[in-house]
Amino acid sequence: MFTGIVTDRGRVRELAPGRERRDTRLVIETAYETADLAIGASVACAGCCLTVVKKGPGWFAVEASAETLACTTLGAWQAGTRINLERALRAGDELGGHLVSGHVDGVGTLMERGQEGGSLRLVFEVPAELGRFIAAKGSITVDGVSLTVNRVTDHGPATRFEINIIPHTQTVTTLGDLGVGARVNVEVDLMARYVARLNQKEPVT
């Protein structure tokens, strides 16, 4: 589990074929002290939970399956891509954001960006089937960052949601660098999924 509080901005150093056909190994540069980063540990990379398979001073390697590459933005990463990083939550850690699983629900697209006071206003679009889990004042994770939704609007087969990010968040994450048209990993609030499931009608037998 994670909290959506980014603790490092890493950089993809290289990509290579993974151990299995169609998998990809990614080497990530990081400011983390990798000496205490265990092989097999989980790290959220732009919101996607990946397992450390190798490491060295200032870097660690993970492998992404073909399914992960197809269902997230990872398939478009290149050497030099900057990504948000968060190590897994440990017992006793402060829960500063919200509970995040690191299982990406879908990919969104940045439709609008602009200044609003001292904050940056971003409007993302996701498919409507994902949008039904997003609510104003609820939590959402975008590229691994825990955020509060300001507004939600439906646009036919799609849903748009709006967030504001303060200057600190712009500095310590990649969100401030996003341009219109950028694709991002989105994970909806776990509680929203459970509520939607509980509200489903019982199947007719």
Ordered by start, the domain boundaries in the chain are 8-87, 106-198
Contact 162, 139 (CB under 8 A): no
Contact 104, 136 (CB under 8 A): no
106-198, which class in CATH? mainly beta
Question: What contacts 155, CB < 8 A, 6 or more positions away?
Answer: 125
What distance in Å separates the CA atoms of residue 105 and residue 84, rounded to the nearest whole number? 17
pLDDT at 165: 96
Considering the domain delimited by 8-87, tell me its CATH architecture. Beta Barrel (2.40)
Please give the chain's pLDDT, 205 residues, in tens.
Answer: 899 999 999 999 999 987 767 789 999 999 999 999 999 999 999 999 999 999 999 999 999 999 999 999 999 999 999 999 999 987 667 777 788 999 999 999 999 999 999 999 999 999 999 998 999 999 999 999 999 999 999 988 999 999 999 999 999 999 999 999 999 999 998 877 767 766 765 554 4
Q: What is the pLDDT of residue 110?
A: 98
